[in-house]
Structure 1
Amino acid sequence: MALVEEFERTGSWLFRWRSYLPFVFLPLIVTAVLRYPVIESHPNLHFVWSIVSLGVSLIGLAVRCHAVGHAADGTSGRNTKTQVAETLNTSGFYSVVRHPMYLGNFLIALGIVLHSAAPWLVVVYLMAFALYYERIMFTEEAFLREKFGRVFSDWSARTPAFVPRLRQWKSAELPLDIPKVIRAESAAVAVIALTFPALELAMHAAQHGNVAMEKSWYILLGSGILLYIIARVMKRQLRRWLKYERILYEAAK
């Protein structure tokens, strides 16, 4: 099998399971938190580091929300079985980086890894992410090149794959679709809202022998859960509305 075909085959497999494979990394995070909770014993440093790490994850979430909210329908979705792209997004974050969704994923996970305060884990994460997403991005771009041809080639020639080139920012062509953002990114919000408090509880338990965390983490946890519930309700209502619309359409034939 040619190397290009091997890249596409493995990239397609990773693309299908991209939402679940990162959980394989959780045991390393737990190990880092339980074995190296030194930063927990320095309150001021721990507070600053918590703000930095959470901020990195929130920046990643913001990138994803902007990319999803301004993307055309039929693109930037959570499809897993096949590649889908009705149009080629080239404005907004797509004007400065070809894979803003994966950039957002990178930052969200990086913030979580940074929160563990284990340098070795950051190194492992950077290496794993590069190997993991390289194949996925290769496969996606092969699909886009075949579907959009010269348009994709011109866009990819001027737009970096992963490191944003902010000086060539072009405002999004479509307005921000807030309901779409809430529906699409509720899972990412839940990951942040659950993971950071969980790490805080684990670090405090490892350092002090009891389970506790500051009130701000409870607020984050509650807000994330509330937003996730709202998003689930919105998704359910949307499915019902679409089903009702199909029934009316069939009846009108």
Structure 2
Amino acid sequence: MALQREFKTQGDFLFRNRSYLPLLFLATGLGVFIYGEYIEPFHIEEGVDYYEFICLGLSLIGLFIRVHTVGHSAKNTSGRNTKKGQIADEINTTGMYSLLRHPLYLGNFFMWLGVAMLAENLWFTIAFILLYWLYYERIMYAEENFLIEKFGDSYLNWASKTPAFIPAFKNYTKAKYPFCLKKVLKKEKNGLAAIFLLFWLFDWVGAAVENRSIQFEVNFWFYAAVASTVIYLVLKIMKKRNMLKESNI
């Protein structure tokens, strides 16, 4: 198979399953974290709370990037589209998309980087960055191939002056569409809940390994996980009742 076609095939597969494959990364990260709790070669004793909040900050930066991108995007763009394949009624070129071609994947990077750093293992974090690059490089290739086929020169002209992943702040153009809160609440509720649930999971697993016993500690991470889960469930119900229906923009 030609390399170009192979990249597209791999990218299409990864695009369809991009919501599930990161679970393998999560399982690996937990394994590394548990192993580190036992032997403690990179274990952080002093200032661990500050370290966790630094990790949380990175993840929330990623969520903010996604929220800003999705909130100002046109309808039927910047979606998950896992079951239906790729969808794009028009090319987003303003707002975050004036800075880089794939702002959602930049947001994903920071969200997952914060989680990767919870493993407290430098080599795992470096491995995550390299694997993320290989993983999303193919997804971006497949996505851009789809957009080129659909929009042709219009997409190529915009892509020629817009970097793929590293923002070019000098190119910023005000978003074409107003911020749509309903769209954000509907599409980004998963990310908010996932962040705090994962941070609580690492905190709980770490305490269980350290104390050699399973117990539930009611702390900040527990309350944050519960609150974000409740928010997720409320928004899920609102979505099913068509209370988060987007406008036609």
> Shared fold by TM > 0.5?
yes
| Alignment-mate amino acid for residue 65 of structure 2 | V
Q: Please name the residue that 1:79 is paired with.
A: 81
Distance in 2 (alpha carbons) for counterparts of 1:223 and 1:156: 40
Which residues in structure 2 correspond to 1:122-201 (within 5 Å)?
Answer: 122-201=125-204
- Could you report, residue by residue, the CA deviation over 1:128-166 in whole angstroms, capped at 9, with x for unpaired residues? 111111111001101111211222112111111111112
Q: How many Å apart are 1:240 and its aligned residue?
A: 11
Q: Please name the residue that 2:3 is paired with.
A: 3
Q: Please name the residue that 1:49 is paired with.
A: 51
| Alignment-mate amino acid for residue 237 of structure 1 | R
Q: Please name the residue that 1:13 is paired with.
A: 13
Q: Please name the residue that 1:222 is paired with.
A: 226
Distance in 1 (alpha carbons) for counterparts of 2:244 and 2:64: 29
Using the aligned pairs only, state the percent identity. Answer: 37
Equivalent residue in structure 2 for 1:231, among 215, 232, 235: 235
CA contact (8 A) 2:73 2:177 kept: yes
Q: How many Å apart are 1:212 and its aligned residue?
A: 4.8
Change (3 A) 1:112 1:41: closer
Q: Is 1:100 paired with 2:108?
A: no
Deviates more, 1:180-189 or 1:231-240: 231-240
* Aligned partner of residue 132 in structure 1, secondary structure: helix
Distance in 2 (alpha carbons) for counterparts of 1:134 and 1:241: 33
CA contact (8 A) 2:58 2:113 kept: yes
Higher helix share: 1
| Alignment-mate amino acid for residue 76 of structure 2 | G
Q: How many Å apart are 1:239 and its aligned residue?
A: 8.3
| Alignment-mate amino acid for residue 175 of structure 1 | P
Q: How many Å apart are 1:208 and its aligned residue?
A: 2.7
| Alignment-mate amino acid for residue 22 of structure 1 | P
Distance in 1 (alpha carbons) for counterparts of 2:129 and 2:76: 30
Distance in 2 (alpha carbons) for counterparts of 1:75 and 1:185: 14
CA contact (8 A) 2:95 2:173 kept: yes
| Alignment-mate amino acid for residue 10 of structure 1 | Q
Alignment coverage as a number of residue pairs: 241
- Could you report, residue by residue, the CA deviation over 1:200-253 in whole angstroms, capped at 9, with x for unpaired residues? 0111222233435562212311221122012201210118989xxxxxxxxxxx
Distance in 2 (alpha carbons) for counterparts of 1:241 and 1:41: 46
CA contact (8 A) 1:69 1:178 kept: yes
CA contact (8 A) 2:183 2:244 kept: no
Deviates more, 1:233-242 or 1:200-209: 233-242
Say what the alpha-carbon RMSD is for the aligned residues. 2.0
Deviates more, 1:59-68 or 1:220-229: 220-229
Change (3 A) 1:41 1:49: closer
Q: Please give the TM-score of this superposition, normalised by the length of structure 2.
A: 0.90
Distance in 1 (alpha carbons) for counterparts of 2:171 and 2:123: 35
| Alignment-mate amino acid for residue 49 of structure 1 | Y
Change (3 A) 1:213 1:94: farther
CA contact (8 A) 2:200 2:221 kept: yes
- Could you report, residue by residue, the CA deviation over 1:46-89 in whole angstroms, capped at 9, with x for unpaired residues? 01111110000000011111111110001011102321100100
CA contact (8 A) 2:36 2:43 kept: no
Q: Please give the TM-score of this superposition, normalised by the length of structure 1.
A: 0.89
* Aligned partner of residue 241 in structure 2, secondary structure: helix
> Which ranges in structure 1 are unaligned for 5 or more consecutive residues?
243-253
- Could you report, residue by residue, the CA deviation over 1:96-119 in whole angstroms, capped at 9, with x for unpaired residues? 011111111111111001112111
Q: Please name the residue that 2:67 is paired with.
A: 65
CA contact (8 A) 1:40 1:207 kept: no
* Aligned partner of residue 126 in structure 2, secondary structure: helix
